[in-house]
């Protein structure tokens, strides 16, 4: 009887630990929408403008929210290896915003300027310029 109870308690404990582990993994791996917008824009640039591919390697982003950067908008600024990416959305449209994304890179004599929007996983390019 004691052995059976010990087995049941062990099985229940393993199940609880497994469920808690999965929940923690999911929680820790949720990516904020502004970071998804940034990453989607960079993927779009690399895919649709192949001359930028060498500039978009091993990017380790720094930055985040910038309060009062532009009135009426929530702003996030990220930088990595010559890139500066600004992601913004209007404060009055915070529930399902369209994010404005601007990405600029200066590397030696190369300058890349890209502007677009991100909404529900879709990137729309509004302008692009590459000079070297």
Coil, strand or helix at 11: helix
Summarize pLDDT for 14-65 with one digit per residue, the tens. Answer: 666 655 555 445 444 578 999 999 999 999 999 999 999 999 999 999 999 9
Q: Residue 116, class by beta-carbon neighbours within 10 Å (0-12 exposed, 13-18 middle, 19+ buried)?
A: buried
Q: Who's near 104: CB < 8 A, 6+ residues apart?
A: 83, 84, 85, 111, 112, 113, 114
Q: Say what the pLDDT of residue 28 is.
A: 46
- Tell me the pTM: 0.76
Summarize pLDDT for 100-115 with one digit per residue, the tens. Answer: 999 999 999 999 999 9
The answer to whether 107 and 25 are in contact (CB under 8 A) is no
């Amino acid at each position: 009887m004691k052995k059976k109870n010990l087995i049941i308690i062990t099985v229940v404990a393993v199940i609880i630990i497994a469920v808690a582990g999965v929940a923690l993994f999911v929680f820790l791996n949720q990516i904020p929408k502004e970071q998804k917008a940034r990453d989607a824009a960079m993927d779009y640039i690399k895919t649709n403008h192949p001359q930028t591919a060498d500039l978009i390697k091993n990017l380790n982003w720094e930055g985040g929210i910038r309060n009062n950067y532009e009135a009426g908008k929530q702003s996030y600024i990220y930088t990595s290896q010559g890139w500066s990416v600004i992601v913004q959305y209007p404060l009055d449209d915070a529930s399902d915003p369209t994010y404005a994304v601007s990405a600029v890179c200066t590397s030696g004599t190369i300058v890349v300027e890209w502007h677009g929007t991100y909404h529900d996983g879709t990137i729309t390019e509004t302008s692009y310029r590459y000079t070297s």
